[in-house]
């Protein structure tokens, strides 16, 4: 089996989305995922590791029913993809500014119950992470080279700022979730396309 077959999508699909392009800043924790630093100072993430972690994230959320999964994206670039993910899988999504207490305070009108939380960026989405932590819920976070990773159970290294990169991530995650749940046959194409998740 060649390397391309083992990846969740063809290598050039990953590369085209820029999912591996990091920032000029790198935290100590994220160094283990960095493949190299480009001459312009941008860090490049390791594609194999991105792919491995997306598989791990898909396997982790597949242990939960859609109504128990909450996807949070404060960053506007992620709104189209998280909404498409919610539509494709039936998972709960929260796109926009997350006010603290949504997970922890049943008195709130916007109260949401969840058993696992996935955030598109651990910094802007820190309120959601705090809520999840106080309830002991597992947290999956998309982390770029500049993210801190404390308080996160599963880090998925990737470009968490680009629309194409986030679109590809949520497209793959939705497809793998449906496959793992037996709602999509392994060799069949999903009922949605990458364009549904990604902005041109």
> Hunting for tokens 């109260």 — which residue is that?
111
First to last CA, the chain: 33
Domain boundaries, the chain: 3-180
Contacts of 123 (CB under 8 A, 6+ apart): 147, 148
Per cent of the chain over pLDDT 90 is 92
Smallest CA-to-CA distance from 140 within 124, 129, 127 is with: 129
Q: Which residues of 68-102 are buried (b: 16+ CB within 10 A; e: fewer)?
A: ebbbbbbbebbbbbbbbbbebbebbbbbeebeeeb
Contacts of 110 (CB under 8 A, 6+ apart): 99, 102
Does an H or E element contain 50, and which? helix 47-61
* Whole-number pLDDT of residue 64: 98
Smallest CA-to-CA distance from 126 within 99, 153, 145, 106 is with: 99
Which fold does the domain 3-180 belong to in CATH?
Answer: Rossmann fold (3.40.50)
φ, ψ for residue 31, nearest 5 deg = -55, -35
- The tens digit of pLDDT for each residue in 26-67 reads 999 999 999 999 999 999 999 999 999 999 999 999 999 999
pLDDT under 50: residue ranges of the chain: 1-4
* Whole-number pLDDT of residue 102: 94
* Whole-number pLDDT of residue 5: 52
> Hunting for tokens 């989405």 — which residue is that?
125
Task: Give the residues across from 73 on adjacent strands.
Answer: 95
* Whole-number pLDDT of residue 4: 45
Instruction: Fill in the DSSP letter of residue 162.
Output: -
């Amino acid at each position: 089996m060649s390397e391309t077959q083992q990846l969740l999508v063809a290598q050039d699909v990953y590369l085209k989305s820029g999912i591996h392009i990091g920032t000029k800043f790198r935290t100590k924790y994220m160094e283990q995922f960095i493949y190299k630093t480009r001459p312009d100072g941008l860090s490049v993430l390791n594609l194999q590791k991105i792919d491995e972690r997306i598989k791990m994230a898909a396997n982790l959320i597949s242990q939960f029913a859609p109504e128990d999964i909450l996807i949070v994206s404060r960053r506007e670039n992620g709104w189209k993809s998280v909404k498409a993910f919610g539509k494709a899988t039936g998972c709960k999504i929260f796109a926009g500014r997350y006010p603290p207490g949504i997970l922890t305070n049943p008195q709130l009108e916007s109260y949401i119950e969840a058993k696992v939380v996935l955030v598109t960026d651990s910094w802007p989405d820190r309120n959601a992470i705090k809520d999840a932590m106080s309830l002991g819920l597992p947290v999956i976070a998309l982390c770029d080279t500049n993210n801190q990773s404390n308080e996160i159970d599963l880090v998925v290294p990737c470009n968490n700022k680009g629309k194409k990169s986030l679109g590809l991530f949520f497209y793959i995650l939705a497809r793998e979730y449906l496959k793992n749940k037996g709602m999509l046959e392994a060799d069949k194409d999903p009922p949605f396309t990458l364009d549904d998740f990604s902005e041109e």
